[in-house]
């Protein structure tokens, strides 16, 4: 998160979760941040000790993306006006941090 704060983003929420009920996976957004231009940024953070098997970024499956998008939809319902949004990824492989703005979209 410090890296994103250093890039001018501000923290809105951390570990935003939505329960879906018994036996159903809920939704989670690791970080919700606001960019300088007002864009709401939903951030998935993944960390791996090594970059084997594609590394941290490759571990964000389509299913994980769907759960993040679902969490974003629930969060947006709490707002009276929807700002522009994007989905970023912060991938940490060992000591190497990669920030991937607009890593996926809601389609």
The pLDDT of residue 99 is 95
**How far is 16 from 71, CA to CA, in rounded Å?**
7
The pLDDT of residue 101 is 96
The pLDDT of residue 107 is 79
Is pLDDT of 23 > 90?
A: no
CATH of domain 2-104: 3.40.1350.10
71-105: pLDDT as tens digits: 999 999 999 999 999 999 999 988 899 999 999 99
Domain boundaries defined on the chain? 2-104
The pLDDT of residue 24 is 65
27-62: pLDDT as tens digits: 889 999 999 999 999 999 998 876 556 788 888 889
Q: How many CB atoms lie within 10 A of CB 39?
A: 15
Give me the DSSP letters along 12-64.
EEEEEEE---TTS--EEEEEEEE-TTS-EEEEEEEEESS-GGGHHHHT--HHH
């Amino acid at each position: 998160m410090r890296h994103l704060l250093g890039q001018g983003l501000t923290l809105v929420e951390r570990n935003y979760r939505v329960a879906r009920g018994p036996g159903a996976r809920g939704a989670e957004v690791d970080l919700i941040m606001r960019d300088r231009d007002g864009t709401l940024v939903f951030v998935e953070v993944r960390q791996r000790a090594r970059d084997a098997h594609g590394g941290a970024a490759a571990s964000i499956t389509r299913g994980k993306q769907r759960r993040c998008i679902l969490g974003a939809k629930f969060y947006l319902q709490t707002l009276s006006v929807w700002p522009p949004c994007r989905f970023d990824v912060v991938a940490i492989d060992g000591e190497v941090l990669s920030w991937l703005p607009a890593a996926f979209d809601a389609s």
